[in-house]
Chains A and B, each alone.
Chain A
Amino acid sequence: MTDTPQTRIFADYMDGESARLIRVSLRVEGKAATGALWLELPDGKTPVRWALGELRRVPDQAEANSIMLRRAGDDPARLKVSDHDMATYLASICPNISRRDKTPSLWRRLTILTSAAVASVALIVFVLVPVLADQLALILPTKGEQALGDATYQQIRQALGKDANTAAWECNNPAGIAALNKMMTRLQVGSNLPYNIRLHVLDHKMVNAFALPGGHIVLFRGLLKDAKNPEEVAGVIGHEMGHVESRDPTRLALRSAGSIGVLGLMFGDFAGGAAVLFLTEQLISAQYSQGAEARADVYSQNLLAATALPSAPMGDFFLRLKSKYGDTTGLASHMASHPDLKGRADKARAADTVGDTFVPVLNAREWRDLQAVCK
C-alpha cells in the first residue's frame, strides 16, 4: 500500500497562514500523477493531501541535502524535507517536480510592455523633446544662444582631437585668417544677424562645414582643399549663415541636450562619454530637414546676390561633391548629406544673377593664403 521507506519520516510543514512550524510525518500513496503525499498532522487533525503531480521543488536552494516543496500555483504553504533519502525518493516519483508555474499570458504581456516602453521612449526622444526644443530655440535669448554655441564648439574641438587630451588644432596662419576676414566682411554686409559670425578653420581632413548656435561657423581644412575658388567657399559660408539665421543648430543642440540623458539612462554609465560623442556627431553631420537645407540655400543665394557674387560656383561645388562621394557619403559631410545634390546645384545656378563679371571675393594670392591657413 505504501512505498515510503519503512521508518516514519518527519518533515517541517508550514501552512502559509501562520508562522507555525508543524512537525508532520509523511506517507506516500501511489506514484506519479495519480499518487499523493499525505502529511499526517499531530494531535489527530485531518491529514493534508498533496497530489504528487502538483508537487514542485523550490529552485536554487543553497542546501543540497534537503528539499523544499511547494504546490503548483500561488499556495504559500511549504514542506521542508530534511531526510536525504526521502528527499531523493520524492524527487524521483513526482513527475513535474522541476516544472515552473506558468504566468498567464506572460509572453503577450511582455511583448505589449516592451513595445509600449520602446514606443514611449521613442515618442519622448523623437517627438516630445524635439517639439519642445524647437519652441525653446526660438525664445532663447541671444546671449544664451552664444554661450550655448561657445560650449558646444569647445566640446567639438575636443572630440575631433587626436586623443582625449588634445583639442583639434584651430588653424591660425595670419595671412589665411586675413583672407578669411576679408571674405567675411563682404558677406556680413548682406546679412541681418543679431551677432557677428565667428568663423573657425579646424585642421581636419573631412570635407565639411557646419554651423553652431550663436554664430559659430566651422570650416574644415578638407573643404578648403577641395574647393576650386573662393566663391565656392563663400557660398558654403552663406549656407551656414542661413542655418544660423533660422537657428537650426540651436534647435539641434537643445534636442541633443534632452536626448543625451535618456541615452545615458538606457545604456548605463559608460555611455556618459558616448553620449557626448553622439552630440558631437549630431552637430557635425547636422542632418537638418530638406526644408531647412533649402531655406539655407536660398539664404545663401540672396546673400551672394546682395554682395554681388555669383551663386553658380556653389552649384558646381555641390556637383563635384556628388561625383566624388555620391549622394550618401560615409564622410558625415553636412553639405553632401542630403540626396538630390543635383537639384540643389541646378537651383543655385538658376538663382545666379551675377554671371561671369564680378569683383572676386579674394584675389589669387589671398585665395592661396586661405587654402594654406593650416600651415
Chain B
Amino acid sequence: MENHTLKTDYAGKRGALFKLAIKTSLLTVLTLGIYRFWMKTRLRRFYWSAIRPGGIPLEYTGTGVEKLMGFLIAVVFLSFYIGIVNLLLVFVSFSLINSNLAAYALSFVGLIPIYFYAQYRARRYVLARTRWRTMRFGIEAAAWPYAWRAMLHWLATILTLGLLLPRQIFWLEKFRIDRTWFGDQKFTQEGRWTQLLPIAIHMYIGIGLTIAATAGLWISPASASLFLLSVPWLFFGFVHFQIQSFRFLARQKRLGANIRFVAEPRTWRVIRIYIFGGLLIWLSVLAVLVGLGLIVGLVVSRVGPEVFSSQNLQGMFADGTASKPLVVAASIIAYFAFFIFSGVLVQIFITMPKLAHYARTLRVLNTAELALIRQRPRDEMSSAEGFAEALDIGAAI
C-alpha cells in the first residue's frame, strides 16, 4: 500500500536552467530561429522533470522535430485560410460598403475561432507528451467544440463587463478536465460556477470602481483620481481571482473514483514573485549595460579617445572600414542579444519561481488507487501544436 498523500517537490536549480536557457537561445539565434522548436522542447523537459509529485518527476516526451513539422503543416493551412479569406474579405468589404474597415474587423474575427482551436490543440499535444510514472496524460480531440464554446463564453463575459468571467472560467475548465485522462483513468471537474463568486469579489469591486470613475468623468474631471484606486484594485482582484480559482478548481477535481488534489498557491506570493522578479531582471540588465560601458570606457582609455573621435568614425563610414551593412548587422545582433538575455532572465526570475511555488503547494490525496491505473495508447497528433506556434499564441514555456 502506498502513502495516502503525495507531496510535490521542485528540483530545478537556477544555475542549471540559466545554462540551458542561454545555450538554447544562442542556438536559436545562430539558426535564424529554427532551433526555437528544440529550445522550447528542452526547456519543457527541464521544467517538467523539476516537478516531482511523490519524488517521481514528470517527463515531457515531445520532440523538436515534431514541433517543426507541426509548424510547417499549420503554416500551409493558415496560408490558405489567411490568403484566400483576406482577399475575399477585402473584395466583399470594398464591393458592399466601399471601405476596408469591415475587412479588417472580419479578418480579425475570423481568426478568433482558430485561436481557440489552436489553444486546445496545443494543450492536447502537451498532455499527450506528458508522462508521470510512465503513464501518459491525454485529452480527447474536441478542438472545434471547444473553440465555439470559448467564443460564446467570451462574448458573454465581454457583454457583462467581466461579471460572467467566473462562469466562463468554470465551464471552460470543466469542458477540458472532463475530457482529460491519466492512463486509463478520467478526470472529473466537480463543483458549481457560483462557488467561484466569493473569490471574484475584489475583481468585481475593481470593475465597479473603474466604471464609476469613467462615468464620473462626464460630471467632473476630478473623478479621474478615482482611477488611482480602481486600477490597482482591478489588477489585484484579477490576479487574486486567477490564482484562487485555480486553487478552488483543483480541490474540485477528481481522478478516477477517488484520487483528489489540493493546490494552495498564495496570491501575495505570486505577486511578490512578479515584483521581485521584475526588479531583479531590470537590475541584471542594468548591471550588464554598466559592465559593457566600463569595458568600452577601458578600451577607449587604452587606445586613446582620438581613435573614436567623430571625424575618425565618420571617416570609417566614408571609406568603408565600417560599412553601413556592418553597423546594421551589429545593431540587429545587439537587439536580439537584448531580447534573448531578457527572455532568459524572465525564465529564471519569474517562470521558474512561479512554477516552483505552484508545484510545492500541490498535493495528491487518496493515492492507493494509483497502482491500478493502466497505460493509454499514444496520441500521434502529427500537427503537434503547430497552429499555436504559427499564430504565436504565447506560452512562457
Contact = CB atoms under 8 A, between A and B. Distances in A.
A174 interface: no
A18 B50 CA distance: 22
B138 to A, nearest CB: 13
Contacts of B390: 265
Contact of B374 (A17, A62, A136): A17
B76 A261 contact: no
A135 to B, nearest CB: 10
B83 A140 contact: no
A62 B50 contact: yes
A269 B82 contact: no
Interface stretch (A121-129, A189-197, A222-230, A317-325): A121-129
B98 A19 contact: no
Interface string A141-173: 101111110010000000000000000000000
Contact of A132 (B50, B82, B87, B95): B87
B212 interface: no
Contacts of B375: 16-18, 76
Interface residues of B, number: 64
Given A21-B2, A64-B16, A148-B94, A262 B49 contact: no
B65 A124 contact: no
A257 interface: yes
B375 to A, nearest CB: 5
Interface stretch (B128-136, B155-163, B308-316): B128-136
Given A68-B59, A80-B56, A136-B87, A265 B12 contact: no
Q: Mostly helix, strand, loop or mixed at chain A's interface?
A: helix
A19 B370 contact: yes
B395 interface: no
A303 B370 CA distance: 87
Q: Mostly helix, strand, loop or mixed at chain B's interface?
A: helix
A76 B82 contact: no
Given A61-B49, A145-B94, A254-B91, A19 B79 contact: no
A145 B98 CA distance: 8
Contact of A146 (B16, B98, B373): B98
Nearest to B91: A136
Contacts of A113: 69, 72-73
Contact of A121 (B11, B46, B63, B75): B75
Contacts, number: 176
Contacts of B75: 117, 121, 265-266
Interface in A71-115: 76-78, 80, 103, 106, 109-110, 113-114
Interface string B55-74: 11101000101001100110
Interface in B1-39: 2, 11-13, 16-17, 20
Contact of A19 (B87, B88, B99, B183): B183
Contacts of B242: none
Given A19-B135, A20-B371, A113-B72, A141 B49 contact: no
B86 A68 contact: no
B392 interface: yes
A77 B95 contact: no
A14 interface: yes
B84 A106 contact: no
B91 A261 contact: no
B65 A68 contact: no
A15 interface: yes
Interface residues of A, number: 60
B86 A257 contact: yes
Given A62-B13, A68-B59, A151-B100, A19 B83 contact: no
Interface string A332-362: 0000000000000000000000000000000
| A63, A68, A255 pick with most chain B CB within 10 angstroms | A63
B323 to A, nearest CB: 18
B82 A265 contact: yes
Contacts of A143: 98
B102 to A, nearest CB: 11
Contacts of B94: 140, 144-145, 147-148
B372 interface: yes
A60 interface: yes
A129 B85 CA distance: 10
Contacts of A15: 134
Nearest to A62: B50
Contacts of B372: 18-19
Given A62-B12, A62-B13, A128 B84 contact: yes
Given A109-B69, A132-B88, 13 more contacts: A14-B133, A18-B183, A19-B135, A60-B20, A60-B46, A62-B49, A68-B49, A110-B68, A113-B73, A117-B73, A144-B94, A148-B94, A266-B75
Complex A-B, nearest 7 residue pairs according to Cβ-Cβ distance, in ascending order: A258-B87, A62-B50, A147-B98, A144-B94, A261-B82, A60-B45, A19-B373
27 contacts: A17-B134, A19-B372, A58-B49, A60-B45, A62-B50, A63-B52, A63-B57, A68-B49, A68-B57, A76-B375, A77-B134, A78-B134, A110-B65, A113-B72, A121-B76, A121-B79, A124-B79, A128-B83, A129-B83, A132-B88, A141-B95, A258-B84, A262-B79, A264-B82, A265-B82, A265-B391, A266-B75
Interface of B: 2, 11-13, 16-17, 20, 42, 45-47, 49-50, 52, 54-57, 59, 63, 65, 68-69, 72-73, 75-76, 78-80, 82-88, 90-91, 94-96, 98-100, 103, 107, 131-136, 182-183, 370-375, 390-392
